[in-house]
Structure 1
Amino acid sequence: MSSTVLVINSGSSSIKYQLIEPDEGTVVASGLVERIGEGSGHLRHTYRGKDTTLAEPVPDHGAGLRRVLELFAEVGPDLASAGIVAVGHRVVQGGARYSGPVLVDEKVLADIEELIPLGPLHNPANLRGIEVARELLPDVPHVAVFDTAFFSELPDSAATYALDREVATRYRVRRYGAHGTSHQYVSRTAAEVVGRPLAELRQIVLHLGNGASASAVVGGRAVDTSMGMTPLEGLVMGTRTGDIDPAVIFHLHRNAGMGVDEIDDLFNRRSGLKGLAGHNDVREIHRLVAEGDAAARLALDVYSHRLRKYIGAYAAVMGGLDVLTFTAGIGENDDIVRSEALAGLEFLGIELDPERNAGRVKEPKVVSTDSSAVTVLVVPTREEQEIAQQTLSLL
């Protein structure tokens, strides 16, 4: 077996992992630990096409990662002989200071902890995952790969909010973005698919999952992105509002008596598609639309309208558009969303081919017509592979 990288993505109550051969992009083994800290946890380990599943308590991330290492020893592959050269960790918030992967040391750990106020939902779990992994795998280097790194060098005009400068500087209020590893991987892969140099392309990447974000990428460099200081800004998402007048917060506080935490919960967990239609699963929304449900139809219209709005805006920011790519769960699997998002954009040179666009997409694919001035692609994202490649490139 060639050199491998163990990629770990620690969430608030979960651990996702993949053992990857970065040079070939091969996933040797993968798994998921869910419901950490709850009464009954769930573990799944996949190796050589076989799933091993367990249901047992997982009290904390330390116990979860120990169980993962036991599964590697029991089911395979044995990490001692798997050629593992490093562990790559996904970290959501790297602030403005990290523009690429970094070798984890005490300074990096302190920085990730200091940035918790900017990533309160993710950085604590990311940090704990790194700490535990370093204890359990002390003989290999550990590398942090930041979601925000791809957007750390946005032009000031895109990164800066029109807020009092002293306040913004003191509290580090600016656009940081998210999903950066996905946008970086997809934009680079899109250039390979169309057979043109990355340096000459103006691209829009639409990462559409339960969380959703758009990016404008010129010559391989991000020049704008829809998520802001937090992942709440931008596109309509599964449970998040996306763009909303900030005065709604004052209105709800003054007139509905809602506190900050309640509004935070409303905007992040009870809005978006779920708030509009009662479901954050787009498949369920499609079913309701087919049954004539007006709320579901409106939810899909609002979702598509926001997408078209960002596509037009980013084409203007870049002075044109060469490639537009859909990715992530909805972007890869939902041909209706792809079609409705691009409806009426023929004036931008976008012509979708209905037959090419039909169905789910598992490999990079062109879904526009041969005569379309803008090439429209679907590219399955491989965030773990990007993390593994960045980890190996750093070493």
Structure 2
Amino acid sequence: MSSNILVINCGSSSLKFSVVDSASGQQPITGLAERLGDTGAVVSIKSSGNDKIIIDIPNGEHDKALSTILDHLQQQDLLETIQAVGHRVVHGGEQFTDSTVIDDQVLLAIEACNHLAPLHNPANLIGIRTCQKLLSNVPHVAVFDTAFHQTMPEQAYLYPIPYELYKEQGIRRYGFHGTSHRYVSMALADTLGKPLESLNLISAHLGNGCSAASIQGGKSIDTTMGLTPLEGLVMGTRSGDVDPSLHHFLCSQMKMSIDEVNTLLNKKSGLLGLSSLSNDMRTLEQASQDGNQQAELAIQVFCYRLAKHIAALAVPLGHIDGLIFTGGIGENSVAIRQRVLALLAVLGFKIDDEQNKSAGKSQHGLITQPESTPAYVVNTNEEWMIAKDTQAAIQ
């Protein structure tokens, strides 16, 4: 019997998909629909062993993109092998602590979280409802970014603001990137041949969006993102932590609207804002090597803030059995890992330069010296985690 799962990650104007074998993690086909609703809307599809094909769908919306994808799966004799559809959903609030088969009540509960993730959840719902219409003969499962962090204790997730705001409005820290943090912690435990329940880990997911998490016995006990994905680390275009009064200052002194401040902190800050150049770490590293001082400054702030947060995340663990670097930057930037571990010497980290240079090319790699607190590079695979969760939920 097939164990193929169609994994869908739906945004407001884009849609990522992949067919994933939940048992092996193999992905025979992946793709991206982008610029949806625009005259330049396209679907790009990559099959294993074949070149990418691009299908124009001018002015096509999500339904046209999904029908195009399903038609292609039919042509490749893959559509009949799909056992279920796994949907990435950004925010599950406090209601969802695990991945869940979608029914009408689940849809209503996801919709009730729209105010917590207004840029993401409505788009996720579009993907779910459209997919349910076009692929109604298989179950659909919601896999939540926030679910993994629902094991955080109150002292970690509560903000020091009037308690009724939490009770009445659900204002608290939720955390994100849970699918990635969970996958890499499980993968490292498997590689080490140790029970996940015995390990104290810190996972640093570093990409255009960045977060880190304390994971004790396979459960998240603290993380850097909060009510929204803006809190915490410096990211590609997000500021991470700033003085909360910055909003008032910008509104009163620069006459910015609250929406303009929100856009500034989410889309014009972080690496892009500091460097005035790019949100891409590869571009900044090259610019720094070429003598661009602002690019170098952005990298320094990124690494310093990351090291501080990692040190703070050690507090609830007591001791660290492993620090994990993952995500596009974490897996690929030798220099960022070197800088961060140098700043974390106080926690006993001593990098092995040769192992650091070779890490990331294989699935997992130790990058520290034998006497060091261990640090590893672990390649994340959120699509496989979503597929595994979906398979488990329908069973």
Structure 1 length normalisation: TM-score?
0.96
Partner of 1:10: 10
Q: Deviation at 1:291?
A: 1.8
Contact 1:39/1:57 (<8 A) preserved: yes
Paired with 2:184 and 2:238, the residues of 1 have a C-alpha distance of: 23
Moved more, 378-387 or 337-346: 337-346
Name the structure 2 match of 1:241: 239
SS in 2 for 1:23: coil
Could you tell me how far 1:284 is from its partner in structure 2?
A: 1.1
Are the equivalent residues in 2 in contact too, given 1:364–1:377 (CA < 8 A)?
no
The range that moved more, 176-185 or 292-301, is 292-301
Structure 1 unaligned blocks of 5 or more: none
Asked if structure 1 preserves the Cα contact closer than 8 Å seen for 2:9 and 2:16, the reply is yes
Aligned-pair distance for 1:71?
A: 1.5
Matches within 5 A, 1:11-160: 11-50=11-50, 51-74=52-75, 76-80=76-80, 82=81, 84-160=82-158
| Residue 180 (structure 2) aligns with | 182
Distance 1:389 1:317 in 2: 29
Contact 1:240 1:270 in 2 (8 A): yes
Farther off after superposition, 88-97 or 59-68: 59-68
Within-5 A mapping of 1:238-277: 238-277=236-275
Contact 1:179-1:213 within 8 A present in 2 as well: yes
- Which ranges in structure 2 are unaligned for 5 or more consecutive residues? none
Q: CA deviation at 1:393?
A: 0.9
Match of 2:212 in 1: 214
RMSD (Å) for aligned C-alpha atoms: 1.3
Deviation, 1:132, is 0.5
Q: Which portions of structure 1, spanning 4 or more consecutive aligned residues, are displaced by more than 4 angstroms?
A: none
What per-residue deviation string (whole Å, max 9, x for no partner) do you get for residues 142-188 of structure 1? 01010000001211100100010112222110011111000000111
Distance 2:41 2:335 in 1: 35
Question: For the Cα contact (< 8 Å) 1:322–1:373, is it kept in 2?
Answer: no
Aligned partners of 1:192, 1:58: CA distance in 2, in Å?
46
Q: 2:319 matched to which residue of 1?
A: 320
Contact persistence 1:350–1:368 (CA under 8 A): no
Q: Secondary structure at the match of 1:318?
A: coil
TM-score, structure 2 length as denominator? 0.96
How far did 1:358 drift? Answer: 1.0
Write the letter of the residue equivalent to 2:375.
V
Alignment partner of 1:304: what SS?
helix
Q: Deviations over 1:339-373 (max 9, x none)?
A: 11111323312121111111561433323334134
Identity of aligned residues (%): 43
C-alpha contact (below 8 Å) 1:5/1:19 kept by paired residues: yes
Alpha-carbon distance between aligned partners in 2 of 1:351 and 1:192, rounded to the nearest angstrom: 24
Number of aligned residue pairs: give it: 392
Distance 2:154 2:350 in 1: 33
Q: Tell me: CA distance 1:58–1:69, structure 2 relative to 1, closer, same or farther (3 Å).
A: farther
